[in-house]
Amino acid sequence: MSLPRALILGCAGTELSAEERAFFRDADPLGFILFARNIGTVESTRRLVDDLRSCVARGEAPVLIDQEGGRVARLRPPLWRKAPPARLLGDLYARDPDAGLEATRLNSRLLAADVAGIGCDVDCLPVLDIAFPETHAVIGDRAYADRPEPVAALGRAAAEGLMAEGVLPVIKHIPGHGRATVDSHEALPRVTASRAELERTDFVPFKLLSDLPWAMTGHLLFEAIDPKDCITVSAGSVQSVIRAHIGFDGLLLSDDLSMQALGGSLGERAARALAAGCDIALHCNGRMAEMVEIAGHTGQMTERAHRRFQDGRSFLARHRDPAGARGLADAARRVAELLPEWG
């Protein structure tokens, strides 16, 4: 059986060009990811998603989106709901854990309904990074809390809400981005904490949610684990931390290859990420020349990666429990009651 290429790619705009259609057909990436530049109306965005899947002739090709709420939301008012940032949910949890979990779970149902409404079936949520005093603003209020246990509890609730409405969650940024003091879009963060400290804190939420089917790496260098290479391209780090210590055996995506935390050419970045143990290389900006270079350095998914992908589909199917239109309306009212300060 011919397997898709171990890639998830973006596209340039709200419609596919003839060049993009031909490239995606020939490259046959596993799936795609949408950004704000791709979002038009509900109908046009749904048409774009359908066209992307048509290019690779696979109705099951995953189409991802970052719909976290707060600052990171590709679907925005007035066509879509304005969702709260993770920190606001974490603050509610600190006052009332049951209310915080309920709000988080219901909020994620609503996020999933918006995501599924345009045909996307994967939301890059929950963020399991811990907020430390030094945490860079690129994470900021995307983090639920400053301790691992509430982060894990709220992350679990968020994942459950997404899956109930038929959307796969992606835990990120494994094994933890909270100690980064620079933006990995711009430079490589270096973390100096000891491995023992990391295992007591940063890694804990990922370990507690390691049964979930998809994860995305963080582009960070952990000096206590690999003093030379960023975790995304470090085979030793992927194996000893993500697969062994954390125990994650699901589909592992790299974070965006075009981020400046990674050195070398884009083709080299893709090849190194896959060689290190990432199942899928992610490239987001939709620039054709970059995608062509990356495709030239990546091959088909491995059989193990394909099994992980299929296992994720099965996992999702077991957790689906859609609320229906009335249930979603009730969820929106309840979230408003629980978070009166939002909106």
Cite the active site residues: 185, 255
Compute the distance between CA of residue 267 and CA of residue 246 in angstroms, rounded to an integer: 29
Q: List the structure tokens of 217.
A: 């790496």
In the block, residue with structure tokens 């400053």: 146
Q: What are φ and ψ of residue 54, in 5° steps?
A: -65, -35
Residue 92: partners with Cβ closer than 8 Å, 6 or more residues away: 99, 100, 103, 338, 339
Q: From the CB of residue 207, how many other CB atoms can be counted at a distance below 10 Å? A: 17
Length of the chain measured in residues: 343
Bridge-based pairing state of the strands 171-174 and 122-123: unpaired
- Closest by CA to 34, choosing from 282, 340, 342, 341, is 282
Structure tokens at 239: 């194996």
Residue 205: both structure tokens together = 């939420």
| Dihedral sign computed on CA atoms, order 71, 75, 76, 81 | negative
261, 189 Cβ separation under 8 angstroms? yes
Cβ proximity of 258 and 202 under 8 Å: no
The structure tokens listed for 160 are: 């459950």
CA distance linking residue 164 with residue 322, whole number of Å: 5
Which residue in 125, 30, 28 sits closest to 75, CA to CA? 125
Residue 253 DSSP label: E
Which uninterrupted H or E stretch holds 19?
helix 18-27
